[in-house]
């Protein structure tokens, strides 16, 4: 299966993807509107940390992704998520460029777009695990996918910029790819196995 084919949204996946897009957009709009007054005009790391620690109150989560996007610095322990910082770095540079041209910090908006993308493709891969790997019908796959994304912790991950949503996306991707290999009785090349392991373990 090619990467292009894997990323293509099938006809039967479009309605679930649209519904999740609406939910994710609404949740991210609430999150962005809550923090935007404090984050749009930050100019240094101390100010970013002060404002986030004063207004970012979500149990079990920390604001380090936003600090990396806003003022690039690895504030968490990189031994826990060694590749996560490298994943965030290009978007931190994008925010730096946008702030130069637009005059305000765009980290919240960049995070919202990233979370929306990984949420939709995570849902697609989960649904394909149900249909392509396990062999369930479309109705059952829709029902189980909706049940999974209706859990409070999962819904919270859709709008909180942390490593959890990206970890879930990568784990679902690996589960789908390896599940298809098992179903089709074929193996992955050694470099593919190593790549999937390093990327997933490095972020998660």
Residue 21 structure tokens: 């897009």
Q: Is 40 exposed, middle or buried (0-12, 13-18, 19+ CB in 10 A)?
A: middle
**Count of residues in the chain:** 204
Domain that holds residue 184: 3-203
What was the pLDDT predicted at 74? Answer: 63
What was the pLDDT predicted at 22? Answer: 96
CB 188 within 8 A of CB 178: yes
| Alpha carbons 170 and 177: distance in angstroms, whole number | 11
Count up the domains in the chain and report the number.
1
User: Tens-digit pLDDT profile for the chain (204 aa)?
Assistant: 678 888 899 999 999 999 999 999 999 999 999 888 888 777 666 677 777 777 788 877 878 888 888 877 666 666 777 888 888 889 989 998 998 899 888 999 999 999 999 999 999 999 999 999 999 999 999 999 999 999 998 999 999 988 889 999 999 999 999 999 999 988 888 999 999 998 888 887
Q: Which residues contact 96 (CB under 8 A, 6 or more apart)?
A: 72
pTM score, whole prediction:
0.89
What was the pLDDT predicted at 76? Answer: 63
What was the pLDDT predicted at 54? Answer: 79
Q: Where are the alpha helices (DSSP H) in the chain?
A: 3-7, 11-39, 45-55, 64-70, 84-102, 107-128, 138-149, 152-157, 163-183, 190-203
């Amino acid at each position: 299966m090619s990467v292009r084919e894997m990323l293509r949204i099938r006809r039967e996946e479009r309605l679930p993807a649209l519904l999740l897009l609406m939910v994710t957009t609404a949740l991210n709009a609430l999150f962005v509107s809550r923090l935007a007054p404090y984050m749009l005009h930050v100019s240094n790391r101390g100010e970013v940390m002060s404002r986030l620690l004063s207004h970012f109150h979500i149990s079990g989560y920390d604001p380090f992704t936003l600090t990396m996007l806003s003022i690039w610095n690895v504030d968490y322990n990189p031994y826990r998520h060694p590749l996560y910082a490298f994943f965030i770095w290009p978007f931190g540079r994008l925010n730096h460029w946008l702030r130069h041209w637009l005059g305000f910090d765009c980290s919240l908006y960049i995070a919202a777009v990233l979370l929306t993308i990984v949420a939709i493709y995570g849902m697609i891969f989960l649904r394909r695990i149900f249909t392509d790997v396990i062999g369930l019908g479309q109705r059952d796959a829709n029902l189980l996918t909706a049940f999974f994304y209706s859990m409070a912790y999962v819904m919270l991950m859709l709008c909180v910029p942390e490593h959890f949503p990206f970890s879930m996306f990568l784990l679902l991707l690996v589960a789908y790819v390896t599940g298809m290999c098992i179903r089709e009785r074929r193996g992955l090349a050694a470099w593919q196995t190593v790549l999937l392991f390093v990327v997933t373990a490095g972020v998660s």
